[in-house]
Amino acid sequence: MNKYFSTKTSIFIFAFPGLLLFTAFVIFPLIPELIISLQNHDGFASSGYVGIKNYIDVFQSSMFWKSNRNTIIIVLMSTLITLPFSFILALLLDTQTSGVRRFFKASSVFPAVLSVTVIAQMWVAIYEPQWGLLNSVLRAVGLESWTREWLTDKNTVVFAIGTAFLWQYIGFNMLLFYTGLKSIPRTYYEAALIDGAGPVKCTIKITIPLLQDVIKYLLVISVLGSMAMFAHVEVMTLGGPGGIARTIVYQLYYTAFMTSEFGKGCAYAVIFVIECLIITLIINRFVARERIEY
Amino acid sequence: MKKKLSKFIIKVLLIVLGLSFIFPLYWMLNLSFKTKSEVYVNTFGLPREWVFTNYPDVLKSYNFFVYFKNSLIYTVGNVVLTILVGSMLAYCITRMNWKYSKLAISYISIGLVIPVQVVIIPLFIMLRQLRLQNTYIGLIIPQAAFALSSCVLMLSAFFRSLPMELEEAACIDGCNIYQTFFRIMVPVIKPAIATQTVLLFMGAWNEFPLSYILVTKEAYRPLTVGLANFFLQIGVTHWGIVGAAMILTSLPTVIVYLLGSEKIENALTAGAILK
Amino acid sequence: MSKILRVLSVMLCIILVLSLSACGSKSKDTTSGNTDNNQQSQQTEDKKEENQNKGPVKLKLLTISSDESRQRIMDEYIKPNVGKVLPHVEIEYEGTANVADKMKVYNSSGDLPDVWYSGADFALPIINAGNQLDLEPYMKEDGYLEKFKIKDALYFRGKIYAISSGADAYFNPRIFYHKDIFASNNIEVPTTFDEFVEVCKKLVNAGIQPIATPGKGGWAPGFFLLQNMIMIEDPEVAQQIVDNKTDFANPVIKNAADRIVQLAKIGAFGQGAANLDYGPAKELFVQNKAAMYMMMTWELPDLEANVPDLDFFLWPKASDKFDPNKVVQYWGSPLAGYAVYSKSANLEDAIKLAEFCCEQDALFFESTGSLISFNTGNQMAELKPIQKKNVEHFENTTTRIATYHLNALDTKCATEHSNLGANLMTGDYSAEQFVEDFNKVWLENTWFD
């Protein structure tokens, strides 16, 4: 039947506008970047080709590895902590009365709809060491020794920014899990209960396998989302102090625009896109049973 | 008894977390009614002295209504264009007998990882050559191009879940492909489109880097660029005004979200999303 | 099947054509100056034709809106008055807090505004590309140059690339303090750095934050803190940096960085100082939460209006080579101010617009009680006591050292200088490390090339 519809003209008409739009305005501007990454370019003008020197410089700079480390920390936080946590939240939500459910569902996506600037500024106020909410609460409950200068202490700054970032999207993840749960027919659980399976066993044997698609989708989206984290870092600490909180994309921006090494910044961009492609390949390869198109 | 207690604890936990999610709203509202100096003495408590002049001050110093109109035009244009083009492409990829559909979807998904900052200068030059600079369409098109990836990926997931019988029936009724798509398929995935609309709306309304660089005339600026001017400035200490500006800027997204959240949820619960 | 291939190949062709056309123009823009000029002159001709047809002259003005002063100059001075001076000109305004990024994009696309607010951090590449006009001949011709009291301050390598009221050249960093807090804690104004450290310790013990100064992004250490820590030991070294006669391995600089670390370690800057924004830092001081405030004097008028017990003291000396009464750092850079696009289609009007903006700039700063180099013809307003004290001290100094951050560092160097400077304020980054990290960048500084 599809063959009847799928004439070459109709395929062209359906696919062409989207592909053209995407190619012309997203892929095509990458070509000059690729070229510039081989040049010594200050953002204003080029002073000639330098081969792969920019790439060598990038790999030799300690900031590249530091920013990669920070990015990996955030990716790990989002996959190992946020995803399981939002999954558990979804399970817990299922046990509650409809009033609680409605309130929680309605509020959960709220942080994700606000602009990053607003959210990040709020977290700056929360982390402020002297009158910020976090330290005030810690002091009030007698945990004075736990207070920190969250955004300037090199041991906490990445985690502090990461928390703000993940908190913003935890509710959205939760909602996707929850709606996934709701789509699993009740009869499956009833059958399992008759067989004498407990709630934990039910979750492992029924829920997780049936939610595979949701899990895969969220995994890809959160990994790529945290790889590309930028605005939170910029608003909260400008990547600092001294650049210790930079992510790869912030380092890219810093190099291309702030220190005006545009050529090197483009090299960062090329490396970053390749990293992301490798990561998605890995996810597709090892996590998905069959290849998924996220 | 034990069960009841644990249920109660979970309830408290969820309510506390839920409250934390709407905390930003409280924070912004609260700021917007404070005096310049109170913000530093009493950051999170309710205002001791309520000030109502912050809102008029913002409206005065910030071309709010012009920016608002621009934001609305950009956002609506972006949503319409992305949904139209995206749903067609997604349909083609998932439902048509196209040899390159797998390649196409991999290709489109590259868009998820391209940082806007890197391509902005070539994009600017291109728009200038196309004489689209400082026109509404000149920002709508690149924004839509960047929003396309996630839209196509999500809609593809929806289309894939639909039974083949839909098209067969349409075919028997004598519909051609275009009628089938617009009269039958689009209405069927309406919940998905509603979800995408809300997500795209949020994304487009809050979009910053493209609008900041590509729009060079004040008359064409969207709200986010106006809001950024309150933050980036050196020397501005008046958080009350910043709070009011944030409220005014976020209001439309909050409203759309409240109107649309029920729809999103229904759409997602329909279970179609990732099958 | 074959049709799909055909479709694909058509698409590919279109993409190729698109990419070739843009690539071509890109390389023209970036590689050879000649073709670039041709292209531009063609554009200018186009523009001229357009103008003759349309009537009013169209000019594009890009101004800086990074602070309240700049915004007020734009909204209250330039916009309402420009019609009176240039009635035949229609101006397209753009205000931005980040002129550098905007100019990068405009410069790359060859679409520069007619007039913009130039800055030391990004002017060199624009000048090198031949896009920033040398205003000197025009200013000599129309007599505008005569309105400046200090003409030397306008010149950069013998040419005038940007004009401003010259208020910048009178701004200098001060240590403001609350007289009441000092009095109630029995603190004398310190004159040596060791005394200064003692004062900070005393305040910390009394539970008062000693100093407020913005550390986020390395603002204060980048622009004046490190420079003054150098100057209090040996002003000559700061001058040598401006003249490219020393490097950062100089022991005086290491000692200077160490002084910041020392202050940070005793908690003199307060908690989280390395991430403290400009606004909150000022507010800490205004609201009596910090005893001292290290800041440039452009904040002085506002401080004097809002802080009843305000005073300032001179930088405490770390050796006898420094005489606080004779030596001062000043802010200005000859590259900061209104600049004109050398290939503007309406050069005459663009120059007039720049001169007009500069004059408005002067009127604004004059109204706030700042000293300016530009002669507006108005009588100087009566100064308030602390402002007067500041002006008198400044005028009595004999050695005025330019801000090296604005007058000796290229973009990369300046950015890294601030970035690493912020580290010093955390207290867990040593002066040795700073010297090691920054000297590498300094040795590649291209400012003096």
Q: What percent of chain C has pLDDT over 70?
A: 88
Residue C157 or B109, more confident: C157
Is the model's pLDDT at A140 over the cut of 60? yes
In the B/C pair of chains, how many CB contacts fall below 8 A?
Answer: 78
Q: For C414-439, what is the mean pLDDT?
A: 93
Residue B48: inside a domain: no
- Report the gap between the CA of A72 and the closest CA in chain C (Å): 23
Tell me which H or E stretch contains C134: none
Q: Which residues of C touch A16 (CB under 8 A)?
A: 7, 11
Pairing of strands A46-49, A39-41: antiparallel
- Report the gap between the CA of A12 and the closest CA in chain C (Å): 7
B43 touches chain C (CB under 8 A): no
B254 touches chain C (CB under 8 A): no
C122 touches chain A (CB under 8 A): yes
* The token pair that represents A166 in the structure block: 């993940």
Residue A105: inside a domain: yes
Pairing of strands C57-64, C115-118: parallel
CA dihedral sign of residues C33, C39, C41, C44: negative
**Count of structural domains within chain B:** 1
Distance of CA B93 to the CA centre of its chain: 24
A122 touches chain B (CB under 8 A): yes
A32 touches chain C (CB under 8 A): yes
Is the model's pLDDT at C449 over the cut of 90? no
Q: Which residues of B touch A294 (CB under 8 A)?
A: 109, 153
Residue B258 per-residue DSSP state:
H
Residue B143: inside a domain: yes
The nearest alpha carbon in chain A to C425 belongs to A241
Length of chain A: 294
* The token pair that represents A259 in the structure block: 């220190």
Q: Which residues of B touch A253 (CB under 8 A)?
A: 115, 117
Distance CA A11, CA B88 (A): 10
Q: Any idea what the CATH number is for the domain that residue C226 is in?
A: 3.40.190.10
pLDDT of residue C342: 93
pLDDT in tens, B38-48: 877 777 888 88
Residue A84: inside a domain: yes
Percent composition of chain A: helix, strand, coil (DSSP 3-state, to 5): 75, 0, 25
pLDDT in tens, B175-216: 888 888 888 888 888 877 887 887 888 889 888 888 888 888
**Count of structural domains within chain C:** 2
Distance CA B76, CA C446 (A): 47
Q: Are B92 and B247 in contact (CB under 8 A)?
A: no
Distance CA A230, CA B220 (A): 25
* The token pair that represents B179 in the structure block: 């009628």
* The token pair that represents B214 in the structure block: 């590509």
- Report the gap between the CA of B69 and the closest CA in chain C (Å): 18
* The token pair that represents C266 in the structure block: 């005793």
Is the model's pLDDT at C45 over the cut of 50? no
Distance CA A49, CA A41 (A): 9
Distance CA C366, CA A180 (A): 66
Is the model's pLDDT at C56 over the cut of 70? yes
pLDDT in tens, A41-51: 888 888 889 98
Residues 6+ apart with CB under 8 A from B53: none
pLDDT in tens, A203-255: 888 888 878 777 877 887 788 888 888 889 988 888 878 889 999 999 998 99
**pLDDT band per the 50, 70, 90 thresholds, residue C21:** very low
**pLDDT band per the 50, 70, 90 thresholds, residue A187:** confident
Q: Which residues of C touch B100 (CB under 8 A)?
A: 4, 8
pLDDT of residue B232: 58
Q: For C241-261, what is the mean pLDDT?
A: 95
Q: Which residues of A touch B149 (CB under 8 A)?
A: 22, 26
Q: Residue C337 region, left (φ>0) first, then alpha (ψ -120 to 50), else beta? A: left
Answer yes or no: do C140 and C207 share one domain: no
Is the model's pLDDT at B97 over the cut of 80? yes
pLDDT of residue C25: 40
CA distances from C390 to C174, C324, C370, C396 (A): 9, 13, 10, 10
Binding-face residues of C in 206-235 toward A, CB within 8 A: 215-218
Burial track C202-235 (b if 16+ CB lie within 10 A, e otherwise):
bbeeeebbbbbbbbbbbbbbbbbbbbbbbbbbbb
**pLDDT band per the 50, 70, 90 thresholds, residue C239:** very high
Q: Which residues of A touch B24 (CB under 8 A)?
A: 110-111, 114, 118-119, 122
Poorest-pLDDT segment among B58-62, B144-148, B185-189: B58-62
Residue C44: inside a domain: no
pLDDT in tens, C62-99: 998 877 788 889 889 999 999 888 899 999 888 888 88
Is the model's pLDDT at C124 over the cut of 70? yes
Is the model's pLDDT at C168 over the cut of 90? no
Residue B6: inside a domain: no
Distance CA B159, CA B155 (A): 6
Percent composition of chain B: helix, strand, coil (DSSP 3-state, to 5): 80, 0, 20
- Report the gap between the CA of C190 and the closest CA in chain A (Å): 27
Answer yes or no: do C271 and C358 share one domain: no
C416 touches chain A (CB under 8 A): yes
Helices and strands, number each (H, E), in chain A: 18, 2
- Report the gap between the CA of C3 and the closest CA in chain A (Å): 6
Residue A283 per-residue DSSP state:
I
Which of C3, C412, C426 is nearest residue A260 as measured by Cβ atoms?
C412
**pLDDT band per the 50, 70, 90 thresholds, residue A2:** low
Q: Which residues of C touch A258 (CB under 8 A)?
A: 411, 415
* The token pair that represents A226 in the structure block: 């945290």
Which of C19, C100, C272 is nearest residue A152 as measured by Cβ atoms?
C272
pLDDT of residue C420: 93
Q: For B96-111, what is the mean pLDDT?
A: 84
**Count of structural domains within chain A:** 1
Q: For C292-306, what is the mean pLDDT?
A: 92
Q: Any idea what the CATH number is for the domain that residue A270 is in?
A: 1.10.3720.10
Domain of residue C412, residue span: 170-330+384-443
C34: burial class by Cβ within 10 Å (0-12, 13-18, 19+)?
Answer: exposed
A26 touches chain C (CB under 8 A): no
- Report the gap between the CA of B220 and the closest CA in chain A (Å): 20
Is the model's pLDDT at C24 over the cut of 50? no
Distance CA A189, CA A178 (A): 16
Answer yes or no: do C128 and C207 share one domain: no
Distance CA B124, CA A43 (A): 13
pLDDT of residue B267: 62
Selected residue of A7, A9, A58, A117 to mutate for chain B interface (largest B Cβ count, 10 A): A117
pLDDT in tens, C364-378: 988 888 888 888 888
Determine the Cα angle at C220 with ends C219 and C224, to 5°: 120
A159 touches chain B (CB under 8 A): no
Residue B72: inside a domain: yes
pLDDT in tens, B159-178: 877 777 888 888 888 888 88
Three-class DSSP category at C425:
coil
Determine the Cα angle at C413 with ends C407 and C419, to 5°: 115
Domain of residue A108, residue span: 63-287
**In the Cβ-directed half-sphere of C7, how many Cα atoms lie within 13 Å?**
20
pLDDT of residue A121: 86
Residue C43: inside a domain: no
Q: Are C230 and C404 in contact (CB under 8 A)?
A: no
Mean pLDDT of chain B: 83
Quote the radius of gyration of chain A (alpha carbons, Å).
23
Is the model's pLDDT at C48 over the cut of 50? no
Q: Which residues of C touch B234 (CB under 8 A)?
A: 66-67, 278-279
Q: Are B159 and B185 in contact (CB under 8 A)?
A: yes
Kindly list the partner chains of chain B, i.e. chains with 3 or more CB atom pairs below 8 Å.
Answer: A, C
Answer yes or no: do C388 and C250 share one domain: yes
B128 touches chain C (CB under 8 A): yes
Poorest-pLDDT segment among B110-119, C168-177, C263-272, C336-345: B110-119
Residue B230: inside a domain: yes
Residue A52: inside a domain: no
Distance, first Cα to last Cα, chain B: 40
Q: Which residues of B touch A213 (CB under 8 A)?
A: 157, 274-275
Residue C373: inside a domain: no
Cross-chain Cβ contact B92/A104 below 8 Å: no
Q: For B217-231, what is the mean pLDDT?
A: 81
Is the model's pLDDT at A163 over the cut of 90? yes
CA distances from B162 to A216, B80, B178, B188 (A): 20, 23, 17, 9
Q: Are C441 and C433 in contact (CB under 8 A)?
A: no
Q: What percent of chain C has pLDDT over 90?
A: 61
Cross-chain Cβ contact C289/B40 below 8 Å: yes
Residue B205: inside a domain: yes
Length of chain C: 449
Answer yes or no: do C265 and C326 share one domain: yes
Distance CA A31, CA C103 (A): 22
Which of B41, B228, B236 is nearest residue C287 as measured by Cβ atoms?
B41
**pLDDT band per the 50, 70, 90 thresholds, residue B227:** confident
- Report the gap between the CA of A20 and the closest CA in chain C (Å): 8
Cross-chain Cβ contact B156/A293 below 8 Å: yes
Residue B249: inside a domain: yes
Which of A11, A23, A128 is nearest residue C15 as measured by Cβ atoms?
A23
Distance CA B88, CA A268 (A): 34
Tell me which H or E stretch contains A139: helix A133-140
- Report the gap between the CA of A166 and the closest CA in chain C (Å): 21
pLDDT of residue C105: 86
CA distances from B265 to A176, B188, C320 (A): 9, 16, 73
Answer yes or no: do C281 and C349 share one domain: no
pLDDT in tens, C109-122: 888 999 999 998 89
Q: Residue C19 region, left (φ>0) first, then alpha (ψ -120 to 50), else beta? A: alpha
Answer yes or no: do C62 and C182 share one domain: no
pLDDT of residue C54: 52
Domain of residue B193, residue span: 57-269
pLDDT of residue B108: 87
Residues 6+ apart with CB under 8 A from C260: C221, C225, C226, C229, C421, C424, C425, C431
Residues 6+ apart with CB under 8 A from C74: C63, C65, C93, C95
B103 touches chain C (CB under 8 A): no
Q: For C121-143, what is the mean pLDDT?
A: 92
Q: Any idea what the CATH number is for the domain that residue B124 is in?
A: 1.10.3720.10
Which of B61, B124, B217 is nearest residue C109 as measured by Cβ atoms?
B124
pLDDT of residue A5: 65
Residue A15: inside a domain: no
| Helices C411-424, C431-443: inter-axial angle, 10-degree rounding | 180
Residue C396: inside a domain: yes
pLDDT of residue A288: 53
A44 touches chain B (CB under 8 A): no
Q: For A107-115, what is the mean pLDDT?
A: 84
Answer yes or no: do C196 and C325 share one domain: yes
ipTM of the complex: 0.84
Distance of CA A25 to the CA centre of its chain: 23
A155: burial class by Cβ within 10 Å (0-12, 13-18, 19+)?
Answer: exposed
Selected residue of C10, C12, C96, C297 to mutate for chain B interface (largest B Cβ count, 10 A): C96
Selected residue of C94, C106, C117, C121 to mutate for chain B interface (largest B Cβ count, 10 A): C94
Q: Is the bond preceding A32 in cis, omega lying within 30 degrees of 0?
A: no
Answer yes or no: do C176 and C302 share one domain: yes
Q: Which residue is associated with the tokens 């003291």?
A: C313
Distance CA C58, CA C52 (A): 11
Residues 6+ apart with CB under 8 A from C177: C189, C291, C292, C293, C310, C311, C312, C313
Answer yes or no: do C144 and C263 share one domain: no
pLDDT of residue B271: 47
Residue B64: inside a domain: yes
Report the DSSP beta bridge partners of residue C59.
C91
Q: What is the DSSP string of A89-115?
A: HHHHHHTS-HHHHHHHHHHHTHHHHS-
Is the model's pLDDT at B83 over the cut of 90? yes
Q: For C260-277, what is the mean pLDDT?
A: 92
Q: Residue B96 region, left (φ>0) first, then alpha (ψ -120 to 50), else beta? A: beta
| Helices B116-129, B136-161: inter-axial angle, 10-degree rounding | 120
Answer yes or no: do C291 and C411 share one domain: yes
Length of chain B: 275
Residue C120 per-residue DSSP state:
T
Distance CA A212, CA A210 (A): 5
Q: What percent of chain B has pLDDT over 90?
A: 17
- Report the gap between the CA of A113 and the closest CA in chain C (Å): 26
